[in-house]
Amino acid sequence: MGIQIGGQEGGVVADMNVVPLIDILLVLIIIFMVITPLTPKGLDALVPQPSPPDAQANPDLVAKTVVVQVNRNGTVKINQEDSDWDQLGPRLEDIFKTRAEKVAFVKGEDDVLFSEVARAIDIMKLSGVEKVGLITAKVEAGQ
């Protein structure tokens, strides 16, 4: 606060000095602008888009698609081929070592805990799969 002595009436006039207040507000605005882009994001997920009902399945696309199924009894399948948790990582490495596109999908049954699906996603990421998509019952049904 500043005090002005004198004036037209000769009394004391009190004017608020707003410069420090504006400086503090500008610093806070800059801090919030810098912090905002650093907020954590969720897991990026790909969801396969259903094909039109009258379209036929492309055999090349079906052959290149890798789907890891997590079953309720604790077993794992890779494209309908039985596997176990210990073999999942090395098997995926073998599949994707010659492919340019490293995209795979995870499908879990209804009664499977999400921790098991997350375990499969972690193994897939450690095996070199760059993008992991999720297949749900609605996507599989074409809805």
Q: Are residues 63 and 117 in the same domain?
A: yes
Give the pLDDT of residue 46.
Answer: 63
Burial of 92 (0-12, 13-18, 19+ CB in 10 A): buried
Give the pLDDT confidence score for residue 143 in this predicted structure.
58
Q: Which two tokens stand for residue 134?
A: 């999720």
Tell me, yes or no, whether 66 and 21 share the same domain. no
Residue ranges of the chain with per-residue pLDDT less than 70:
1-11, 13, 38-63, 137-143
pLDDT score for 142: 62
- Computed over every residue of the chain, the mean pLDDT equals 79
CATH number of the domain at 129, please: 3.30.420.270
The domain total for the chain is: 2
pLDDT tens per residue across span 110-130 = 888 888 989 999 999 988 888
* 126 in any annotated domain: yes
How much is the pLDDT for 40? 65
Q: Are residues 73 and 133 in the same domain?
A: yes
Provide DSSP, 56-123. Answer: PPPHHHHHH--EEEE-TTS-EEETTEEE-HHHHHHHHHHHHTT-S--EEEEEE-TTS-HHHHHHHHHH
Give the helix/strand (H/E) hosting 27.
helix 19-35
Domain with 125, as residue range(s), is 59-141
Query: Is the CB of residue 142 less than 8 Å from the CB of residue 47?
Result: no
136 and 66 part of one domain: yes
Same domain, 69 and 32: no
Coil vs helix vs strand at 136: coil
Contact predicate 1/17, CB 8 Å: yes
pLDDT at residue 4 in the model: 57
* 81 and 13 in a common domain: no
* Whether residue 120 sits in one domain with residue 82: yes
What pLDDT score does 34 carry? Answer: 85
Is residue 44 one of the residues assigned to a domain?
Answer: no
pTM over 0.85: no
